Chains A and B, each alone.
Chain A
Amino acid sequence: MNSKQKTILLIVLSTFVVSLLVWQIFGGEIFTKTQVLVETKDELFGWTEKKWENKFVWGLDLSLVISGASVLIGGILFFLFRNRKNYNQY
């Protein structure tokens, strides 16, 4: 494994860890959402009512897509940056 391949591996692993961390920071939801339900009090009737609020929530699905994409791109780059000296030996 050459230095470029090591860098690629490090970037892929970092992307994986960061995407999982971000997922946890956003509350560990399974699915990514662009809207969340919030409860507000109806002053007139005194009951609580539900309202949609635009808010982005990072889900595990997004972390998996990003991790998968980084593994795929990293794998291709890992292959492209392989040490070609080995071929000259044979």
Chain B
Amino acid sequence: MNKLIRVFLVLLLGNSFLSAQDFKVKAAGTQTFNFSDENGRNHVSFFSTMPLEDITGTASGVSGTVSFDPANFAKTLKGKISVKVASMNTGIELRNQHLRGPNWFNAEKYPDITFEIKSVSNVKAIGENRLEFKVKGDFTFHGVTKELTVDTEASYLEESEQTKKRAPGDLLGVRAKFNVKLSDYKVDNQLIGNKVAEDIEVGVNIVGSNKL
């Protein structure tokens, strides 16, 4: 009988853990996480196919803030993340210059790529203080703004000796993946005479701190 009760309690606890849609942390009230990173560890990666060779690159010029109440995550999440076009790197300097140049992303005229959060849905707990959700927001690229839904994963780490090595305060790690169709943002898919795939796969790996 005792065994049965124990199994029932474990199942009950497990269920309440999995259905949790907020962060269970000490911090109370609205927390603002700053994603500016002087060390350039925060990055956005992109991948595209070309007839001769695929392009894999990163952009490390990430900045912006995200704020939310850990106890009411889905309803309070807001913020804006920016990436500097000039920080894009593909490993080949000549290709970088073309990428940032006026015929492609035009870093001079459109220096930032931004994503502004509008709403959150489908929040699921996938671990301790780890949530998976969909974020709807305004994505601005090459001077064009379009609504985009992004599959996102966020991990909340409370300040510890380990986290202090990265940054002071509680840390929020965000991972996201989405596709960008170049023609939607009025970008010609020709790079140095080669046709680049219409869709660019974008991956986001950023960590923010609430004490930066």
Contacts and interface: CB of A to CB of B under 8 A. Distances in A.
A44 B173 contact: yes
Given A47-B175, A52-B58, A52-B89, A30 B205 contact: no
A35 interface: yes
A42 B57 CA distance: 19
B205 A47 contact: yes
A43 B52 CA distance: 35
Given A29-B53, A33-B91, A35-B89, A49 B43 contact: yes
B173 A31 contact: no
A65 to B, nearest CB: 13
User: Which has the most chain B C-beta neighbours within 10 Å: A35, A36, A42, A45?
Assistant: A45
A72 interface: no
Interface string B34-55: 0000000101010000001100
B148 interface: no
Contacts of A6: none
Interface of A: 29-37, 42-45, 47, 49-50, 52
Nearest to A32: B92
B157 interface: yes
A41 to B, nearest CB: 12
Interface in B32-88: 41, 43, 45, 52-53, 56-58
Nearest to A36: B91
A52 B45 contact: no
B91 A50 contact: no
Contacts of B207: 44-45
Contacts of A35: 89, 91
Contacts of B152: none
B166 interface: yes
Contacts of B157: 44-45
Given A30-B52, A52-B58, A47 B173 contact: yes
Interface string B161-194: 0110010000101010000000000000000000
B41 A44 contact: no
Contacts of A29: 53
